[in-house]
């Protein structure tokens, strides 16, 4: 892997870094205390600024108005945007829209692209991804009770989903449901179907309260009940029975997006920790927290962990770009739990260094502490990735005796 960052990407990330510092971080005190809908006018102004700077949709296709960056380039951008919880939204590459755009671009019909992809890339609408089910393991997408049964030219969908992220305010959902339950391969039973959220039978039961926050247009996790929800069969995304295949296409690059966003959070928290330690006086003679060895150790440990996690993630992104997600599956599994845990450690240390201030919404650390704990669960829990990697790694040694 070539570690050199091109002049083009240095310029792009430099512009984004400056924008985040000057335009987004000052908005955070309002963001953590106000309803997101109240901030939409101010955020639209920032989004318009990004579009004028030609930085909109970094990883989105050029023909639809994005920048068309490859996965490694977008990883570098995602790191800079991750320094503020507003970054990805203001630049038009927030989850779950970014993943939905990727699969619509790859698998959508011309009609689907015109109706859903184009306005989604422009930021005119939002979308959601409806896969996880209440009673089944979210880490195993072949386990699916929701059904989509053919009836003439339609599919009729029945089932219950939850953690349908950003359903509140979305124009459509991409739903994963069983269309071929009798297929011998469990990996070929489910399909993905586009469902407009105003379709009769699409019922948003509630936004699930998470860490004391019920969510809004920006970030919510809905419970959805599909009750005889009828949509045209032309809303099928990709071939029938390819739901698992498309999900894997979506989740591999998606984990790069997440992990580099988490690295951005790490960098922000590291900066806050070091600044606080260097200025917080703790003795009458003016000594600061930075004079204490335990703080110095936390700083050193955090710096080493961030660097290791960052390089792992960039290498995984490069491997996906060069060889495909299937060849990079071990790298993807490793970064998912390594980077999530690195972020937890750095956030926790930074909050501890801030003391009581760190627990308040006067600092962004409390927001990160609440909202990023889920990183070790969604897109595959830590334990699942560890077990899958460990099983594959050990299988390679079944007929080998190391000397």
Does residue 283 belong to any structural domain of this protein?
yes
Looking up residue 95, the CATH number of its domain turns out to be 1.10.540.10
Residue range 343-354: average pLDDT?
Answer: 98
Q: Are residues 133 and 230 part of one domain?
A: yes
* Per-residue model confidence as pLDDT tens digits over 109-127: 999 999 999 999 999 999 9
Domain range for 338 is 244-395
Name residues whose C-beta falls within 8 Å of residue 248's C-beta, 6 or more positions apart in sequence: 325
Q: Are residues 328 and 199 part of one domain?
A: no
- Amino acid 36: pLDDT: 84
Q: Are residues 118 and 143 part of one domain?
A: no
Does residue 42 belong to any structural domain of this protein?
yes
- Amino acid 292: pLDDT: 97
Give the position of tokens 């949509």.
231
Alpha carbons 10 and 5: distance in angstroms, whole number: 6
* Per-residue model confidence as pLDDT tens digits over 194-239: 999 999 999 999 998 888 777 665 678 899 999 999 999 999 999 9
Residue range 265-289: average pLDDT?
Answer: 97
Is 80 exceeded by the pLDDT of residue 1?
Answer: no
| Residue at a domain's end among 122, 142, 173 | 122
- Amino acid 136: pLDDT: 74
* Per-residue model confidence as pLDDT tens digits over 63-108: 999 999 999 999 999 999 999 999 999 999 999 999 999 999 999 9
Count up the domains in the chain and report the number: 3
Looking up residue 185, the CATH number of its domain turns out to be 2.40.110.10
- Amino acid 382: pLDDT: 94
Q: Residue 367 in contact with residue 361, Cβ under 8 Å?
A: yes
Query: How far lies 101's CA from each of 81, 253, 355, 386, in Å?
Result: 19, 12, 41, 29
* Per-residue model confidence as pLDDT tens digits over 131-186: 999 887 766 777 789 999 999 999 999 999 999 989 999 999 999 999 999 999 98
| Residue at a domain's end among 79, 103, 122 | 122
Q: Are residues 231 and 142 part of one domain?
A: yes
Does residue 175 belong to any structural domain of this protein?
yes
Q: Are residues 384 and 249 part of one domain?
A: yes
- Amino acid 139: pLDDT: 67
Q: Are residues 167 and 104 part of one domain?
A: no
Query: How far lies 310's CA from each of 317, 389, 396, in Å?
Result: 11, 20, 27
Is 90 exceeded by the pLDDT of residue 34?
Answer: no
Q: Are residues 359 and 270 part of one domain?
A: yes
Does residue 401 belong to any structural domain of this protein?
no
Q: Are residues 149 and 222 part of one domain?
A: yes
| Residue at a domain's end among 106, 122, 138 | 122
Does residue 334 belong to any structural domain of this protein?
yes
Q: Are residues 367 and 264 part of one domain?
A: yes
């Amino acid at each position: 892997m070539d570690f050199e960052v091109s002049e083009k990407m240095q310029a792009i990330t430099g512009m984004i870094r400056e924008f985040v510092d000057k335009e987004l971080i000052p908005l955070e005190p309002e963001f953590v205390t106000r309803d997101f809908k109240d901030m939409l006018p101010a955020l639209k102004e920032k989004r318009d600024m990004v579009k004028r700077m030609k930085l909109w949709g970094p990883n989105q296709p050029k023909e639809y108005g994005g920048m068309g960056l490859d996965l490694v380039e977008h990883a570098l951008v995602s790191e800079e945007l991750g320094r503020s919880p507003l970054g990805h939204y203001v630049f038009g590459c927030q989850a779950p829209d970014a993943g939905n755009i990727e699969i619509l671009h790859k698998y959508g019909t011309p009609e689907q692209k015109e109706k859903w992809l184009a306005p989604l890339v422009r930021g005119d609408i939002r979308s959601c991804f409806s896969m996880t089910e209440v009673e089944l393991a979210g880490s195993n997408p072949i386990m699916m009770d929701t059904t989509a049964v053919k009836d003439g030219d339609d599919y009729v969908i029945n089932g219950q989903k939850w953690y349908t992220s950003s359903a509140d305010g979305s124009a459509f959902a991409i739903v994963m449901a069983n269309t071929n339950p009798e297929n011998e391969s469990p990996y070929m039973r489910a399909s993905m179907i586009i469902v407009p959220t105003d379709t009769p039978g699409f019922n948003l039961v509630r936004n699930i309260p998470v860490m004391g926050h019920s969510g809004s247009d920006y970030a919510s996790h809905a419970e959805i009940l599909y009750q005889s929800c009828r949509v045209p069969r032309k809303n099928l995304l990709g071939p029938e029975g390819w739901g698992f295949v498309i999900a894997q296409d979506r989740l591999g690059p998606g984990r790069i997006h997440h992990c580099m966003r988490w690295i951005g959070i790490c960098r922000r928290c590291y900066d806050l920790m070091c600044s606080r330690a260097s200025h917080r006086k703790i003795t009458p003679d003016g000594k600061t927290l930075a004079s204490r060895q335990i703080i110095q150790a936390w700083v050193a440990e955090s710096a080493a962990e961030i660097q290791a996690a960052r390089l792992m993630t960039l290498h995984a992104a490069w491997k996906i770009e060069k060889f495909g997600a299937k060849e990079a599956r071990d790298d993807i599994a490793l970064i998912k739990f390594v980077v999530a845990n690195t972020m937890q450690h750095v956030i926790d240390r930074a909050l501890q260094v801030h003391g009581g201030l760190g627990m308040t919404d006067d600092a962004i650390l409390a927001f990160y502490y609440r909202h990023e704990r889920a990183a070790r669960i969604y897109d595959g829990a830590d334990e699942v990735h560890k077990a899958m990697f460990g099983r594959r790694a050990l299988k390679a040694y079944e007929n080998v005796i190391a000397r």
